[in-house]
């Protein structure tokens, strides 16, 4: 089995060489792939999307169509502060009070200009998690860009009761990001419920365990010190 670093490097290079991404280089990023809008359209047909009233989403460009549509449909949306650098580590976007268009609020700059920073304990329980990915497989294993922040966001939300093992997790990806191989995972990795491409909806088996909180033994002290919400949680 390849390690996560090798998988990321191979996928980033393959996407760039195939010309299926909107940037010359997507190394160290969630790839903004051609077809992201078509993949989003497939997500909108899912019952878990239609039932959801509150969502948590990553801020990356590939998932912007999902964030914009959520706001257009009146759904409450949460986005994490980059690298969780503030104690109010999520931004709440409430369409009922936003003073901008959903298109503006769905961008990173718009979200932080018009949204309301909140503590994780102030968040509503979410009905759906949208996650960006570098690589996935059909078993529901997801590999991100390597910072570990998506897993920490989920862990903080799980510790606060904002998400549960029953909360669906969806990613949108290019078909080249769906790998026909076993992928490495750890206890803090969040499994997928659906991986959606422009061509298909992949419903994952759902038999992988979900993180139940923060796995402190997996975190370096300097990372804990750099994330105020972690320090507050550990300190009680």
Burial 82-97 (b: 16+ CB within 10 A, else e): eebebeebbbbbbeee
Query: How high is the pLDDT of residue 83?
Result: 85
Query: How high is the pLDDT of residue 61?
Result: 96
Q: With beta carbons less than 8 A apart as the criterion, state whether 194 and 29 touch.
A: no
What is the chain written as a DSSP string? ---HHHHHHHHHHHHHHHT-BSSS--TTS---BTTHHHHHHHHHTSHHHHH-SEEEE---GGGHHHHHHHHHTT-EEEEEPGGG-SSS-EEEE-TTT-SS-HHHHTSHHHHHHHSEEE-GGGSPPPSEEEE--SEE-TTS-EE-SSS-HHHHHHHHHHHTTS--TTS-EEEE--GGGB-SS-----TTPPPPSEEE-SS-EEE----SPPP-S--GGGS-HHHHHH-HHHHHHHH-
Instruction: State the greatest distance between any 2 C-alpha atoms of the chain, in Å, as a whole number.
Output: 49
What's the chain's average pLDDT? Answer: 95
Could you read off the pLDDT of 102-159 as tens digits, one per residue?
A: 999 999 999 999 999 999 999 999 999 999 999 999 999 999 999 889 999 999 999 9
Query: How high is the pLDDT of residue 152?
Result: 93
At 13, the pLDDT band (50, 70, 90 cuts) reads: very high
Q: May I ask the CATH class of domain 4-73+127-225?
A: alpha beta
Query: How high is the pLDDT of residue 183?
Result: 98
Instruction: Give the global pTM.
Output: 0.95
At 236, the pLDDT band (50, 70, 90 cuts) reads: low
pLDDT exceeding 90 applies to what percent of the chain? 90
Q: Look at residue 16 and tell me whether its pLDDT is greater than 90.
A: yes
At 39, the pLDDT band (50, 70, 90 cuts) reads: very high
Q: With beta carbons less than 8 A apart as the criterion, state whether 169 and 192 touch.
A: yes
Could you read off the pLDDT of 205-225 as tens digits, one per residue?
A: 999 999 999 999 989 999 898
Could you read off the pLDDT of 65-91 as tens digits, one per residue?
A: 999 999 999 999 999 988 888 999 999
Query: Is the Cα dihedral 57, 164, 190, 235 positive or negative?
Result: positive
The gap from C-alpha 59 to its chain's centroid, in whole angstroms, comes to 8
Query: Using CA atoms in the order 17, 19, 25, 31, what is the torsion angle rounded to 10 degrees?
Result: -110
Query: How high is the pLDDT of residue 157?
Result: 95
Q: Look at residue 43 and tell me whether its pLDDT is greater than 80.
A: yes
Query: How high is the pLDDT of residue 235?
Result: 78
Q: Tell me the CB-side half-sphere exposure of residue 201, using CA atoms within 13 A.
A: 15
Could you read off the pLDDT of 150-194 as tens digits, one per residue?
A: 999 999 999 999 999 999 999 999 999 999 999 999 999 999 999
Average pLDDT estimate for 50-74: 97
Q: With beta carbons less than 8 A apart as the criterion, state whether 140 and 170 touch.
A: no
Sequence ranges of the domains in the chain: 4-73+127-225
Could you give the CA distance from residue 1 to residue 183 in angstroms, rounded to a whole number? 7
């Amino acid at each position: 089995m390849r390690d996560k670093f090798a998988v990321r490097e191979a996928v980033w290079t393959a996407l760039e060489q195939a010309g299926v991404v909107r940037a010359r280089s997507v190394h160290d990023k969630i790839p903004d792939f051609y077809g992201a809008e078509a993949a989003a359209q497939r997500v909108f047909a899912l019952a878990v999307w239609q039932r959801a009233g509150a969502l948590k989403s990553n801020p990356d460009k590939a998932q912007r169509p999902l964030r914009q549509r959520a706001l257009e449909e009146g759904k409450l949306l949460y986005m994490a502060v980059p690298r969780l650098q503030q104690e109010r580590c999520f931004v709440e976007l409430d369409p009922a009070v936003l003073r901008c268009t959903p298109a503006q609020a769905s961008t990173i700059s718009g979200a932080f200009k018009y949204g309301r920073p909140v503590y994780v304990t102030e968040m509503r329980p979410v009905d759906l998690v949208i996650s960006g990915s570098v690589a996935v497989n059909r078993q529901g294993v997801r590999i991100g860009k390597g910072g570990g922040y998506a897993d920490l966001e989920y862990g903080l939300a799980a510790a606060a009761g904002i998400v549960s093992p029953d909360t669906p997790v969806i990613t949108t990806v290019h078909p080249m990001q769906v790998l026909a191989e076993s992928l490495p995972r750890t206890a803090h990795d969040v499994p997928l419920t659906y991986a959606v491409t422009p061509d298909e909806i992949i419903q994952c088996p759902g038999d992988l365990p979900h993180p139940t909180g923060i796995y402190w033994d997996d975190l370096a002290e300097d990372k804990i010190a750099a994330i105020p919400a972690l320090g507050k949680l550990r300190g009680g």
